[in-house]
A = this chain, B = another copy of it.
Amino acid sequence: MKKYIVEFIGTFFLVLAVCMAGSKAGDMAPVAIGATLMVMIFAGGHVSGGHYNPAVTLAVFIRGKCNATDLIFYWVAQIVGGVIAGLLAANYFNYFAVATSPEVPIKALVAELIGTFALAYVVLNVATATKNAGNSFYGLAIGFTVTAMAYTLGPVSMGAFNPAVAIGAGAFGLFAWGTIWVYLVGCLLGGALAGVVYKFVIKPDEA
């Protein structure tokens, strides 16, 4: 049970940062968002693994380090945490966003796929590879992948790389509901691809 609470708390703060720092931190927003993810991973990693992202949970599931029950409950906890954060930012703190769709949906989908692949690829390597057991850099590596990819691909797709972020930012009013499918499909494909690449190419010798 406490795994799900930790996933809820971490995703809540991640989406709160996306909505609020994303609205008002300007050029520093990717640093604020990546730092939020980093600190929540360092805080919660020892309990839940610190995913805070359905696409990451899918990648870890494919890689074989998460069972089907946890997959479902992690997804629920992540999405609920993200939606509550989005609603809080919009309706209590009165942050305002204009609902935005990507200019070219298919290119945004490819950008989300590429960025989420990077994120899940980093997660699998730094947090599940035997050779990296006990390291102190996993949160820094994962959090700053989001920072790096947000600067790199954000102008194309707005840079979610995370279905719970897309849905939470939809509840906030920033991501238009009509193109949310771009993020769900792109992010889950990117996570799944990372899981497959890790399992069959990079580390076929690790269970």
A residues sitting closer than 8 Å to B (CB atoms) are 2, 5-6, 9, 13, 16-17, 20-21, 24-36, 38-40, 42-44, 46-47, 92-93, 107, 110-111, 114, 118, 121-122, 125-126, 129, 131-132, 135-142, 144-145, 147-149, 151-153, 155-156, 201-202
- The answer to whether A21 touches B148, judged by C-beta atoms less than 8 angstroms apart, is yes
Copies of this protein chain in the complex:
4
CA distance A136 to B26 in the complex (A): 31
A37 to B31 alpha-carbon distance, docked (Å):
16
Complex: how many Å from CA A128 to CA B132? 16
Q: Are B43 and A121 in contact (CB under 8 A)?
A: yes
CB <8 Å contact, A125 and B92: no
Q: Which of B34, B40, B140, B152 contacts A137 (CB 8 A)?
A: B140
Given A28-B31, A35-B145, A42-B125, 9 extra CB contacts under 8 A:
A13-B118, A13-B148, A16-B114, A29-B151, A36-B152, A39-B148, A42-B126, A93-B111, A136-B137
> Which of chain B's residues has its CB closest to A16's CB?
B152
A110: chain B residues at CB < 8 Å are 92
